[in-house]
Chain A
Amino acid sequence: MNDVDVREAITRAHHEEWARVVAALTRRFGDLGIAEEAAAEAFATAVERWPVDGLPPNPGGWLTTTASRKAIDRIRRENKRDDKHKEAQMVYDDAPPEPVGAIDDDRLRLIFICCHPALAMQTRVALTLRMVGGLTVPEIARAYLVAETAMERRITRAKAKIKAARIPYRMPSAEDLPARVSGVLAVLFLVFNEGYLATGPGTDPLRHDLTTEAIRLTRLIRTLMPGDGEVAGLLALMLLIEARRPARVSAGGELVPLTEQDRGAWDATLIAEGHRLVRERLAAGVAPGRYQILAAINAVHTSARDIRDTDWSQVLALYDQLVRLDPSPIIALNRAIAVAEIDGPDVALATVDRLAEALTGYHAYHATRAELLRRLHRGPEARTAYDKAIELAGNTAETAYLTRRRDQLR
């Protein structure tokens, strides 16, 4: 086995085993911090040893065992340093680690503790990417454009709170489960969205790393909770959006709207998988939640080979269903785009204008108005709306697109 193979094996083990190792150690030692550090040490040891010793027959088992030893070493060292904590820290289960595969539930516990509602949203995102995703602190800091020290502090504070307040490492009660699952999905969708439409002048407009990570983690939850409709819905939604990524930014770095995308460039494999999930949920015959409806809307869009083939009445019917579930102004804004296709831009504009108060600080509100005004040949008003949208948009590719659209109106 050559170096490249070993490197690939380590990367794969990191993807496949990191969360499992952290989860198993958290259960065994009752401490997220110890689990995280020991897992990191075990992977560092793998990077050193595997190229020399060759791949162990069971990489996951090797990593868990090595990490457990590292954790015990660390606990012993710390106990020597500080006898006061001895009692508290020596409470661990010395049974041999269970075979890999029998501990899948631990990964779910790990996800739930990282997305606990007692933690701030941005903390949940950071903790999930670190503990479940295995991203390093510098990687997470870069992804969210904050200083490494600040990200380190955020994660350290979260671990301290989990310990001090005794946030439990167990499955939520049946009664709390739907709310807690929806909390986890919100964290993953937030990670995905930052990759889908990255903010900030210094970043790429599309952050493939973040969308990929969000999809990977959602797939993991799907494996752990195969019967949950919203988990399937969110995965389908992400896949159907990700499928369009190759067509979403032009060679010149401009965002390409759905209407103008080269549909041949869409990823057919991802679309097929997304459609399969949507069909699975339709067949389940259970009233869909918001992610399932959003996935269905995206399935309609990705079923049309040409924008002119889009079944807008189906899109509108789905938005009507979504509005009943979530009467938020942002959903109403997106619904208006379908209204424009069916009842015309004037009707859509009247709907959009009613959202002025709620959405005046939201770039997409102004961009949508601009496009509708443009279709109604109200150039000067459209220009003003584009100006507002450009001022508020945080994504470089979107700003470039909006600027060109505005300048066409001269």
Chain B
Amino acid sequence: MQYLVSVIDDKSNPGSTDRQPAISAFNERLIAEGYWVFAGGLADTDAATVIDNRGEQAVFSDGPFVESKEYLAGVWVWEAPDLDVALTLAAEASKVCDRKIEVRPFL
């Protein structure tokens, strides 16, 4: 079972910026224990571009598809046997990243 694990930051109350070493160590453990599928930090939402090509021609707009205080700062994909395992890891991840975490199953 795969889960999308989103790291959520808050523009008005951002998490600390010195977490990288702890996150790297946590990733090593995820790999060693067989949970790790993918991970990636994301650039600022200002760097996002939204493309809508459902009409006659593609329309590009600068910025994220929704403006909000809270935004996606990074993602993991984990392979875990069930939600309890994913939630235990996510609780650790939240501490390690100093940010909120959303766990969502893939179909």
Contact = CB atoms under 8 A, between A and B. Distances in A.
A167 interface: yes
B14 interface: no
B1 interface: yes
Nearest to B84: A168
A304 B104 CA distance: 54
Contacts of A379: none
The binding surface of chain A is classed by DSSP as: loop
Contact of B105 (A117, A166, A173, A176): A166
B87 to A, nearest CB: 7
B107 A164 contact: yes
Nearest to B82: A168
Contacts of B107: 164
Interface string A165-206: 111100011001000000000000000000000000000000
A166 B85 CA distance: 10
B84 A165 contact: no
Q: Which of A118, A166, A168, A172 has the most CB of B within 10 A?
A: A166
Interface in B60-98: 81-84, 87-88
Contacts of B82: 166-168
A172 B81 CA distance: 14
A324 to B, nearest CB: 26
B2 to A, nearest CB: 10
Interface residues of A, number: 10
Contacts of B3: 165
Contacts of A172: 84
Q: Which of B82, B84, B107 has the most CB of A within 10 A?
A: B84
Nearest to A167: B83
B87 A166 contact: no
A138 to B, nearest CB: 30
Contacts of A176: 84, 88
A147 B107 CA distance: 30
Contact of A165 (B81, B88, B105): B105
A135 B25 CA distance: 49
Nearest to A180: B84
Contacts of B83: 118, 165-168
A165 B103 CA distance: 9
B102 to A, nearest CB: 11
A172 B82 CA distance: 12
Contacts of B105: 164-166
B87 A118 contact: yes
B68 to A, nearest CB: 22
A191 B81 CA distance: 32
A294 to B, nearest CB: 29
A164 to B, nearest CB: 5
Interface string A147-173: 000000000000000001111100011
B91 to A, nearest CB: 10
A176 B103 CA distance: 18
Interface string A111-144: 0000001100000000000000000000000000
A226 to B, nearest CB: 25
A166 B83 CA distance: 6
A162 to B, nearest CB: 9
A117 B81 CA distance: 18
A173 B85 CA distance: 10
B1 to A, nearest CB: 5
Interface string A369-400: 00000000000000000000000000000000
A201 to B, nearest CB: 39
A173 B104 CA distance: 22
Q: Which 9 A-B pairs have the closest CB atoms?
A: A168-B82, A165-B105, A165-B83, A166-B82, A167-B83, A166-B1, A168-B84, A164-B105, A166-B83
Given A168-B82, A168-B83, A176-B88, 8 more contacts: A117-B87, A118-B83, A118-B87, A164-B105, A166-B83, A167-B84, A168-B81, A176-B84
7 contacts: A118-B87, A165-B83, A165-B103, A166-B1, A168-B81, A168-B82, A172-B84
Interface of B: 1, 3, 81-84, 87-88, 103-105, 107
